[in-house]
Structure 1
Amino acid sequence: MTTEIKAPTFPESVQDGVVANWHKQPGEAVSRDELLVDIETDKVVLEVVASTDGVLGEIIKGAGDTVLSNEVIGIIAEAGEQAAAPAASAPKAAPAANSGGGEVVDLKAPTFPESVQDGSVASWHKAVGEQVSRDELLVDIETDKVVLEVVAPADGVLSAISAEAGSTVQSNQVIGQITAGATASTAAAPAAAAPAAAPAGGEAVASPSARKLASEKGIDLASVAGSGKDGRITKEDVANAKSAPAAPAASPAPVAKAAASAAPLPAGERIEKRVPMTRLRKRIAERLLNASTSTAMLTTFNEVNMKPLMDMRKQYKDLFEKTHDGARLGFMGMFTKAACEALKRFPQVNASIDGDDIVYHGFQDVGVAVSTPNGLVVPVLRDVDDMSIATIESTIRDFGMRAKDGKLGIEEMTGGTFTITNGGVFGSLLSTPILNPPQSAILGMHKIQDRPMAVDGKVEILPMMYLALSYDHRLLDGKDAVQFLVAIKEFIEDPARMLLQV
């Protein structure tokens, strides 16, 4: 029976740590609460002690390796077992397989684009020893821009995993192995389903602080139920167990009852869940922080009457969909086209800053922000000036569907000279969008809401939308930004202006 050695739970402000040094080597005997390894973070050095007596069987994370909170870094075997001592980087061994072929095929990470340095293994869809089919999805690798899928190169059995979930991998790095032509052993299934760790000889597993407190208070750990991971007894479990026997068995006197009612009630369980930030989320955070610190960002607002556009959509919606092979007539196509026309009239909004130079782009590549379960991505519509509204609508819809499935390519999310984001689909009434560097401006659309408006001296209820334009004041003056936003407003309130280019 083996017990996992795990990195401690890092504080909220610490993302990962580095294994400083191991105090024991594979094959050496270890005692419960004996110091095994030091893990160094950017703030403190944490000590990991043995949770049971036994023999250090395997070191999974060697000195210098980066580890995450609660990641498995080693294995303790029982004293009577033969201790294994594989290298820290050795792949996980496969369960027994009925080999029909025997050829071992390396499973490699994909070739990353030039702009991507490395990736993280997000999740494995197969476990070691399971049957796989050619082109079956095995593992997702997450970069700071996109999630890449790795499929099986052949039929067989997944015989080894050398890069567990959370591991950092390089382009074309071997992350596992497949035994081609083999079939999975049914006998290995029950073993795989067994619990990962159990206390040796029925003895309770407790943290060092819990053992110390139990020793001071004279509490038998065997009588304490552990609430920690894998049934581990925490210091709080011991403290709660201490107070339980002290509860009065009989009804207290009235005075004592009144005093008890005045005492504070014990707090209920406050559950927290800690998960590592994904590479995509970290990349989004870096870019947003960089935009707010490296640009002179300012936002100007306006409002647009959506009634003309809504009337036109109502009139031509069915005919548009029938004519253009099911393409739906929405608002994003009109706003994208309106932004394109405005960019041609105000080329400085379509420009970007490169060092001490201003780069003016002779094309309009408009990014459209799309929300996914993993975060916000911005696929780019290339050469919008050459696209029809039907093509724009179809492309945006395709981007949205593929983004939710993680199927967008990196080349589809790079570049862009201007961005549109629509918080209105989530109910946002007003916001200040953040720039997408190196672009100099971003347009924010919002919820359509009926409001009383003064029209020719009379009050009318009209469907109105607030528009927000955030821009880099280093490149754009307020006059240019305001006139650009007014141009979009005029195109939307009178769509014929775009057709007539007036």
Structure 2
Amino acid sequence: MAEIKVPVFSESVSEGTLLTWHKKPGDEVKRGEVIAEIETDKVVLEVTAQQDGVLQSIAKNEGDTVLSEEVLGTVGDAGAAAQAAPATPAPATAPDQASGPVANETSAGGTATQPDSANLGNEATRRDDLSPAVRRVVTENNLDPSQIPATGPKGNITKADAVGAVATAQATPSTVAQPATTQPSGPRAEQRVPMTRIRQRIAERLKEVQNTAALLTTFNEVNMKPAMDLRKKYQDQFVAKHGVKLGFMSLFVRAATEALKQFPVVNASVEGKDIIYHGYYDIGIAVASDRGLVVPILRDTDGMGLATIEKEIAGFAQKAKGGKLTLEDMSGGTFSITNGGTFGSMMSTPIINAPQSAILGMHNIIERPVAENGQVVIRPMMYVALSYDHRIIDGREAVLFLVAIKNALEDPARMLLEV
């Protein structure tokens, strides 16, 4: 008999929440197989089996608070008797309760026969072939996994399959019985949902920055035509050689790195009454995930080429979608970049990622009339924003830093010549 224990948390993490059991007592497990997931205020950790056998018992239920190295259950030989979980699932919410997570009405307002939302959620939880991202879509939309066409390479349900099932359910005429939606019932209904640990931590950190830093934002605009022409001219060759597309983010990372070299205080951080100047360039890239905004770190960007940067960013994006980012991926960082333009944002004032002192905000590219050599021409323009801690960064450095990024992007040869 072997104990299943919570992984060792880092010093900055005191506890977590048992998010999901992928196995139930009596199920066969194999060494190295993921059998549970734990959510901390930073990442989701996977708990793997340390030996082959059968899950004999579980000591913690989904939603329970767990501590580092706490026992979650036991794995033993197949002949041992499996024990049930210590608590039973909560009963399904009645259809007329406004506080429930789902509504039991059709889009036309009439009542339709609905599947038991609690049973659907429990079925999704019991399915050990669902990835965390798929399980979240299935659970939140009360889908029946057995009714979702699977297109995965091993016959498994992909996230695209689950999202497609949601769209199909929403488009189905009201005369057909459908899974319940995530909206509460009633004309003025409300829904109370507890924040996840990650969301709580994001809220705490952002509010802490607002309370402690002297935040100020400066703006500029960048003519993206030179960068777009460069990408168009060399895209095919770039993909053929490196196996990854040339995007704008790698150009911004390189431009920011060169600007940080010129203005070291923007790469610094505040610690008490001291300013810590960093002799390295670790740039965080804000990535949207199902569980909230995460900021994995590109380390030593001064030694990275564009292809390496693009590959690293693509890897982080995939890990974020699958909930696979680790604490190491997101620890540290001396500067950050966030791209609201991917969602259509025209202008924003991003909040710095403490203890960093500045963050660069990218935005949507829009063709606008601009003056060039006394003539009005149409150019693809992007507004850029630099939010900074005015306690250590003066307006002069902030403005010139942003101008340096603008100049580098409007003449990409500057990044190669480092001028």
Both structures adopt the same fold (TM-score exceeding 0.5): yes
- CA deviations on 1:182-207 (whole Å, 9 max, x unpaired) are 4899xx99xxxx99779xxxxxxxx9
Please name the residue that 1:322 is paired with: 240
1:165: Cα distance to partner?
A: 1.4
Separation in 1, partners of 2:89, 2:65: 27
Please name the residue that 1:279 is paired with: 197
1:354: Cα distance to partner?
A: 0.9
- CA deviations on 1:424-456 (whole Å, 9 max, x unpaired) are 111111111001011110000001111111112
1:327: Cα distance to partner?
A: 2.1
Larger Rg: 1
Separation in 2, partners of 1:489, 1:269: 50
1:109: Cα distance to partner?
A: 0.7
Please say which of residues 354-363 and 486-495 is displaced more in the overlay. 354-363
* Residue-pair matches, total: 328
- CA deviations on 1:12-39 (whole Å, 9 max, x unpaired) are xxxxxxxxxxxxxxxxxxxxxxxxxxxx
Please name the residue that 2:66 is paired with: 169
Contact 1:154 1:180 in 2 (8 A): no
Please name the residue that 1:24 is paired with: none
State the SS of the aligned residue for 1:154: coil
Please name the residue that 2:318 is paired with: 401
Please name the residue that 2:332 is paired with: 415
Q: Structure 2 vs 1, CA of residues 485 and 195 (structure 1 numbering), >3 Å: closer, same or farther?
A: closer
Separation in 2, partners of 1:286, 1:197: 33
1:389: Cα distance to partner?
A: 1.0
Q: Structure 2 vs 1, CA of residues 196 and 352 (structure 1 numbering), >3 Å: closer, same or farther?
A: closer
State the SS of the aligned residue for 2:332: coil
Question: What is the percent sequence identity of the aligned residues?
Answer: 58
Separation in 2, partners of 1:277, 1:268: 23
Please name the residue that 2:214 is paired with: 296
Aligned-partner residue type, residue 323 of structure 1: K
Contact 2:363 2:382 in 1 (8 A): yes
Separation in 2, partners of 1:501, 1:178: 58
1:136: Cα distance to partner?
A: 2.4
**Would you tell me which structure has more strand in proportion to its own residues?**
1
Please name the residue that 1:368 is paired with: 285
Separation in 2, partners of 1:372, 1:183: 40
1:500: Cα distance to partner?
A: 1.5
- CA deviations on 1:49-93 (whole Å, 9 max, x unpaired) are xxxxxxxxxxxxxxxxxxxxxxxxxxxxxxxxxxxxxxxxxxxxx
Contact 1:105 1:180 in 2 (8 A): no
- The aligned runs of 1:6-405 (5 Å cut-off) are 104-182=1-79, 268=186, 270-324=188-242, 326-405=243-322
Aligned-partner residue type, residue 209 of structure 2: A
Q: Structure 2 vs 1, CA of residues 196 and 331 (structure 1 numbering), >3 Å: closer, same or farther?
A: closer
State the SS of the aligned residue for 1:138: strand
Separation in 2, partners of 1:272, 1:123: 26
Aligned-partner residue type, residue 295 of structure 1: A
Match of 1:435 among 337, 347, 352: 352
Question: How big is the alpha-carbon RMSD for the aligned residues of Structure 1 and Structure 2?
Answer: 2.5
Separation in 2, partners of 1:434, 1:170: 31
- CA deviations on 1:291-323 (whole Å, 9 max, x unpaired) are 111100000110000000000000000101112
Separation in 2, partners of 1:412, 1:140: 18
State the SS of the aligned residue for 1:498: helix
Separation in 2, partners of 1:167, 1:461: 58
Separation in 2, partners of 1:141, 1:196: 20
Please name the residue that 1:476 is paired with: 393
Contact 2:56 2:80 in 1 (8 A): no
Separation in 2, partners of 1:184, 1:291: 53
Contact 1:352 1:360 in 2 (8 A): yes
Contact 1:156 1:180 in 2 (8 A): yes
Contact 2:40 2:198 in 1 (8 A): yes
Separation in 1, partners of 2:46, 2:220: 43
Separation in 2, partners of 1:150, 1:299: 42
Match of 1:497 among 411, 414, 419: 414
Please say which of residues 146-155 and 413-422 is displaced more in the overlay. 146-155
TM superposition score normalised by structure 1: 0.62
Separation in 2, partners of 1:106, 1:291: 41
Please name the residue that 2:162 is paired with: none
Separation in 2, partners of 1:438, 1:338: 22
Separation in 1, partners of 2:15, 2:342: 34
Separation in 1, partners of 2:278, 2:66: 36
1:157: Cα distance to partner?
A: 2.8
Contact 2:56 2:81 in 1 (8 A): no
